[in-house]
């Protein structure tokens, strides 16, 4: 069994895999990580391997526990990966994006794949049919756009995500919902269309916290998979075990 740990901007996601099968998934605050690790160790004593992907920070105590308990792989730009990284600044490539590309390679090897991760940021990552990662794009996510309108202006309120009733907002709140949601939807559809103009056989995969909300509204044909990053991390762990 494998333990997958993804430390994000707001929480820590944990998953237990048996080979390729997802057995368990949980999400906790960083401050509760050690307690969750101990609980998972008691519940799944067969876990031997673990991988840590972190765009946030965990305590030295948590890290020491992982190193002392499991055969731990810490994902970084120096990790052995199942694709050729052609990013011009590989050391600045986020480990979350690395994991998504690995999942793409496993899911659709030797195909042109665009992975869209809709979370705090919306990231676009492209890997071609030669399993070469070429890069992508980064833009603000839905929640980030709502927050920026509130933080950077004097009179606009902070709103929770809501699908607009009409593209023409008849009030300030309606206008914000329209601008944020339709702005993101048209951005994603536009980027997919641009890629498809260059790669007619493109496979598009949507993941991330906002993927369920967005997948129902997008015009483009996509595969939605909320566990894609976790699957990518599990694949990296298996890939490194066989090296």
Look at the chain and report how many structural domains it folds into: 2
Q: Is the pLDDT of residue 143 over 90?
A: yes
Q: How far does Cα 197 stand from its chain's mean position? A: 25
Positive or negative: CA dihedral 31, 35, 39, 45: positive
Q: pLDDT, tens digit, for every residue of 90-134? A: 999 999 999 999 999 998 878 899 999 999 899 999 999 999 999
Asked if the structure places residue 134 within a domain, the reply is yes
pTM over 0.95: no
In a shared domain, residues 18 and 128:
no
Q: Is the pLDDT of residue 241 over 80?
A: no
CATH code (residue 63): 3.30.420.40
Quick one: 15 and 55 in the same domain? yes
- 96 counts as catalytic: yes
Nearest-angstrom CA–CA distance, 195 and 116:
12
Does residue 63 sit in the same domain as residue 93?
no
Distances (CA, A) of 76 to 51, 73, 133: 11, 9, 16
Look up residue 132 and give its two tokens. Answer: 């070469």
Q: Which one of the listed residues 96, 117, 125, 210 is annotated catalytic? A: 96
Q: What DSSP string describes 92-126?
A: GS-HHHHHHHHHHHHHSTTS-EEEEEESSEEEEEE
pLDDT over threshold 90, residue 224: no
pLDDT band with cut points at 50, 70 and 90 for residue 242: low
> What residues make up the domain containing 109?
84-233
Q: Single out the residue in 53, 74, 95 at which a domain terminates.
A: 74
Average pLDDT, the chain: 92
- How far apart, in whole angstroms, are the C-alpha atoms of residue 119 and residue 141? 6
pLDDT at residue 9 greater than cutoff 80: no
Tell me the per-residue pLDDT of 171-210, one tens digit each, with 9 for 90 and over: 999 999 999 999 999 999 999 999 999 998 999 999 998 9
Q: Are residues 64 and 94 in the same domain?
A: no
């Amino acid at each position: 069994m494998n333990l997958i740990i993804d430390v994000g901007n707001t929480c820590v996601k944990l998953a237990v895999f048996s080979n390729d099968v997802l057995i368990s998934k949980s999400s906790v605050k960083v401050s509760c990580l050690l307690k969750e690790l101990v609980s998972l160790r008691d519940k799944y004593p067969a876990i031997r391997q673990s991988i840590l992907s972190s765009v946030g920070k965990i305590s030295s105590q948590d890290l020491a526990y992982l190193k002392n308990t499991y055969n731990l792989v810490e994902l970084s730009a120096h990790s052995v990966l199942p694709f050729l990284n052609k990013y011009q600044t590989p050391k600045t490539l986020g480990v979350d994006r690395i994991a998504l590309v690995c999942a793409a390679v496993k899911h659709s090897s030797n195909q042109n794949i665009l992975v869209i991760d809709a979370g705090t940021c919306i990231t676009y990552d492209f890997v071609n049919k030669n399993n070469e990662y070429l890069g992508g794009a980064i833009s603000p996510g839905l929640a980030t756009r709502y927050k920026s309108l509130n933080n950077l202006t004097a009179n606009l309120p902070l709103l929770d995500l809501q699908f607009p009733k009409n593209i023409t907002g008849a009030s300030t709140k309606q206008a914000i919902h329209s601008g944020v949601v339709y702005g993101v939807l048209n951005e994603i559809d536009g980027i997919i269309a641009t890629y498809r103009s260059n790669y007619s056989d493109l496979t598009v995969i949507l993941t991330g916290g906002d993927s369920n909300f967005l997948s129902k509204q997008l015009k483009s044909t996509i595969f939605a998979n909320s566990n894609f990053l976790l699957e990518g991390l599990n694949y990296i762990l298996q890939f490194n075990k066989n090296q």
